Chain A
């Protein structure tokens, strides 16, 4: 298999449940070794996609091609795909070792092979000392690792992960995110991860597919999605942002020129250049706005009045009223640098690359 052909090819996939359309004509390729995250609110179609890939649902229309083979109508047990379930679905009446060996047994491996392989995978995930325990005797984090070990043991071509961190507490979650990412790198497995947590998606993924109402909103790297969101939905769903509503004036090279609050701003348009004179919305992230007392050297600069401050620990969120005072911009100030924002009037500046015109 050459690296050019995708591992998974999803062609025109739709799923209807009665009158509701859970998934609407999804077409997508997943390359081998990728960590792809499907991100979106509940009911956006991400879980349906995952369940179709796992073989638990049959699509209304469309095909799933895995490793060059059409698996759309194959039952789950026939696919080289394994899944880490949201509730882990560990078998309560089997020990950790028996759970891990379950898939290997059914592959027809010999006892010695099963033992070797499960020991290998359990030591890889640091589970050796729990081998003879039952799932109920483990902590949440340990259960999660057992679920991962069990799904990795049969050596699947594609690993599906259905919000596997949802049941963990916030502190543990950060740690497990790092672990999961490093496991993915070391095993070079293709991970198909589903979550509604944007922070989780940004931390771990090579690529994020943002879904909404059964359709793809944007498909790109975490950086692309964060700094150059294509739509208002993506801009608002991922992180916090300033939305600037103005009017399209024209282009200047590869930049877009917009009128906003009696100022002219420069920005990028990753989702396509809108027509001249149209009302448009642009997004700029809080951390991309810089403060200064004098007019800054950046291409975009506006003057405003500080109207509110929120202390957040290492940094401070500042609200600045711009123009006539009805438009608020939010920005972060680093507390350590001791930057002063106490002045009434202040300049805010940012570069065109950090502002994206959205596709409403």
Chain B
């Protein structure tokens, strides 16, 4: 057994072909030179690692948003040949000028807020049950059961709701069979059907943050509170709720942002009285030509509003959490 380094080095050169791939690569001149140049200093190594991803997020993630903003400030896009493009705020002014534009805008925000609240109220007990009343071993199974439908796409699920709520749908059939109604209730094309659909689509994004927040709560805390004489409602209000505010906050933010962005679901489930802003925006892109800047401006307004609302909401939640610690 030889452990004498000097005896070994400079021994017979190994047969190149018999080396492993990685041995050949590491010893291959051009690769070696390239790696030496790339790793010459930690700084250079970092730049090589960072250049592509930073360039990507700037041009592909930020780029589209900035370009949208830029187009929203121009009077014509795409620019026709021979026409001078100029800066304007008209597209934004147009929004406030006509109730046909700002009505759907406020309707969208209201709907998104209400649907978010509904989703929270529906999924909180579900998440609570999963995290606190199901044994560890079964939790994943119970959760997976809920995950399956959510792998199915937006359009297919929207269609499923259409079948459920239609005049000849399942709900009306059941009600009729039970003798509760004579003629079908027109659920479809109302804000109700839209709500059912949107809650159906977003529930998972609320459920998962809530579940992971609740799962972290030790059972002993509830028992301790019960031991001290706290009833079910007090336990929930004083223990579970404050400690899961983070989950509530991120779930609501996510669901709110997603809800404001739905296009197909309101088109299919909603009616003329429930037109949402996404449909207004989309309208500007169905016709070719100079409506694009207006559409871009409206999309920018929408995004800014959604961001401001979620930021304010997060701040409120943060204050609530801090207030509770005191």
Contacts and interface: CB of A to CB of B under 8 A. Distances in A.
Interface of A: 1, 75, 80, 105-114, 120-121, 124, 152, 155-157, 187-189
Contacts of B23: 105-109
B3 A188 contact: yes
B5 A157 contact: yes
Interface of B: 1-6, 8, 14-15, 18-20, 22-24, 26-27, 39
Given A75-B39, A106-B26, A111 B5 contact: no
Contacts, number: 45
Contact of A120 (B1, B8, B24, B39): B1
A107 B26 CA distance: 8
Given A75-B39, A105-B23, A110 B18 contact: yes
Contacts of B6: 1
A152 B8 CA distance: 14
B5 to A, nearest CB: 5
25 contacts: A1-B6, A75-B39, A80-B5, A105-B20, A105-B22, A105-B23, A106-B22, A106-B23, A108-B19, A109-B14, A109-B23, A110-B14, A112-B18, A114-B20, A120-B1, A121-B1, A124-B1, A155-B2, A155-B3, A155-B5, A156-B5, A157-B5, A187-B1, A187-B3, A189-B3
A109 B23 CA distance: 7
A16 to B, nearest CB: 16
A199 to B, nearest CB: 28
Nearest to A123: B1
A36 B234 CA distance: 63
B3 A108 contact: no
The 7 closest A-B pairs by CB, nearest first: A110-B14, A110-B18, A108-B27, A187-B3, A105-B20, A108-B23, A105-B23
Given A114-B20, A155-B5, A188-B4, 12 more contacts: A105-B19, A106-B26, A108-B19, A108-B24, A108-B26, A110-B15, A110-B18, A112-B18, A120-B1, A121-B1, A124-B1, A187-B1
Contacts of A75: 39
Nearest to A107: B23
B39 to A, nearest CB: 6
Contacts of A156: 5
Given A109-B14, A189-B3, A155 B8 contact: yes
B313 to A, nearest CB: 37
